[in-house]
Structure 1
């Protein structure tokens, strides 16, 4: 189209159809605003899964009840041996009844109180080990995967420590140290961070040399900021999954140590101790309740954390966001 034709078209346009736009600084800033929130979107996707929501409520109620149970009225002590008022003998192996809701064990202790006290102990161990695994594993894994100078050193440390079987480390540490809750937590923490560190390292290697990370390095962005702002946010979903699975894994290790006789002493109730005691009586139908009740609690906790972790990992994936 020639210049003459363009000028002719422009002359035929009615100027009243146009209005001069004045510059407004506040409106200019609003043009780049978005009300999108990653965590709000993650929660919205998570709440759409009814099974995960129900299990989350169940876990929340279990954790809450374990905390308030000792302060409720008419609660018995977990380590006290109860006697028959008529005979003065221990109320051994009493079946569940109105007074002893979960029955009593072989020396007359209330299983209701012991199960909730044991759940409280096992959950504390699980959360402590899971938190340590997350903090140490993510920190070492991020440095291992991003800082090339540390790769060889951390790799050698990992290879040496990982080649020692986890079971051997747990048994040796619990045998050398005095059996207690801190001992169990320490023994599990010594090996628990290895899997998380390797997992985070492998994921960071995949994304560390992408263009936006190269640009950040060229601009002089500190390593700590690149890791926390550019790398770890992409790994939120898988990290949350690993953390959720670390809790039931720690509880399972505590049960295993109790099974082989290296766990907590009997005066500290735990799900491991209770299951180990019930296992001995499993072949007696009348006493099988001493295994069923703690096994039911640990099954609910384990399955719930597994499902919640998987669903939350899927919800944190940006591809599933609304």
Structure 2
């Protein structure tokens, strides 16, 4: 018995329908611009991100330095472009890592009754800790590297995805086509992949956009606290941390990376809301 043949994600018109929503279209456009700026940073940036110029330190925005310079004379605009590459890469990697863990835990908990209770208790225990405190503890234990930040944040946000997958799996496993597949002797891994996982993709996609936004904020928070990625690597969080010391005399060091975080997170939230409205049958009729 085949799974649902045309999941909503496979509809060719889904992107055009999403772009038909003004707020979601604005979010997609902003994300495209930010992603292109990050990818083309070596071409767009007027200076090297690590170029020092003590004579030009704490210069305000000008034609020579669009966003001014920091305490070491480094061009803030250049560092923002390279920081975008780091922050977006970390956010995307966190979504992938959290999705892998969340899908495995969610499918195991929702499909196998004996595993439901222990896995659910594990998920509840992980979600009992505040996100940032758990992330700080994991990074402190693993070490402050970009990879470890991704692992720590992936572990922090995996329970959210696991709960979404579990809730959907509990419903899907009782549907007639899943029962028929079991009766026909279809292997359990095949049922999980073809019949269950395919049909939980929609809520996963929506949650992924929100986790992407939260991961960018969390990475910035860890970098700001000095327990995130190495200060040698430009990130929006480290730039804000440096600018905090010169907030009175050089507010632009904090202002521009802070604005970048706000705009990026807002764009991701707009896209996530648009996807939720598009993929939720109760809300799709209003689109």
Shared fold, TM over 0.5: yes
Q: How far apart, CA to CA, are the structure 2 residues paired with 1:79 and 1:37?
A: 43
Counterpart of 1:287 in 2: which secondary structure? coil
Q: How far apart, CA to CA, are the structure 2 residues paired with 1:224 and 1:178?
A: 36
Rg: which structure is higher?
Answer: 1
Counterpart of 1:263 in 2: which secondary structure? coil
Do residues 208 (structure 1) and 180 (structure 2) align? no
Q: How far apart, CA to CA, are the structure 2 residues paired with 1:37 and 1:119?
A: 28
Do residues 45 (structure 1) and 17 (structure 2) align? yes
Provide the aligned C-alpha RMSD in A.
2.4
Do residues 184 (structure 1) and 156 (structure 2) align? no
In structure 2, stretches of 5+ residues that fail to align are 1-5
What does 1:93-104 align with in structure 2 at a 5 Å threshold? Answer: 93-104=58-69
Deviation at 1:273, TM superposition (A): 0.6
Is 2:149–2:228's contact at 8 Å kept on the other side of the alignment? yes
What does 1:1-322 align with in structure 2 at a 5 Å threshold? Answer: 38-72=10-44, 75-83=46-54, 90-282=55-247, 284=248, 286-318=249-281, 320=284
Is 1:137–1:193's contact at 8 Å kept on the other side of the alignment? yes
Deviation at 1:318, TM superposition (A): 5.0
Deviation at 1:223, TM superposition (A): 2.2
Deviation at 1:203, TM superposition (A): 2.3
> Which structure carries more relative contact order (alpha carbon 8 Å, separation 6+)?
2
Which stretch of the first structure deviates more once superposed, 134-143 or 36-45? Answer: 36-45
Deviations 1:2-51 (A, max 9, x none): xxxxxxxxxxxxxxxxxxxxxxxxxxxxxxxx9x9942132232121123
Q: How far apart, CA to CA, are the structure 1 residues paired with 2:216 and 2:108?
A: 29
In structure 1, stretches of 5+ residues that fail to align are 1-33, 84-89
Counterpart of 1:40 in 2: which secondary structure? coil
Q: How far apart, CA to CA, are the structure 1 residues paired with 2:16 and 2:104?
A: 29
Is 1:281–1:287's contact at 8 Å kept on the other side of the alignment? yes
Q: How far apart, CA to CA, are the structure 2 residues paired with 1:317 and 1:45?
A: 13
The alignment covers a number of residue pairs equal to 279
Deviations 1:56-109 (A, max 9, x none): 12211211111112134x7211122114xxxxxx31110011111110011211
Q: How far apart, CA to CA, are the structure 2 residues paired with 1:225 and 1:318?
A: 27
Distance 1:242 1:200, change over 3 A: same
Q: How far apart, CA to CA, are the structure 1 residues paired with 2:21 and 2:125?
A: 42
Q: How far apart, CA to CA, are the structure 2 residues paired with 1:201 and 1:37?
A: 20
Normalization by structure 1: what TM-score? 0.79
Distance 1:314 1:222, change over 3 A: farther
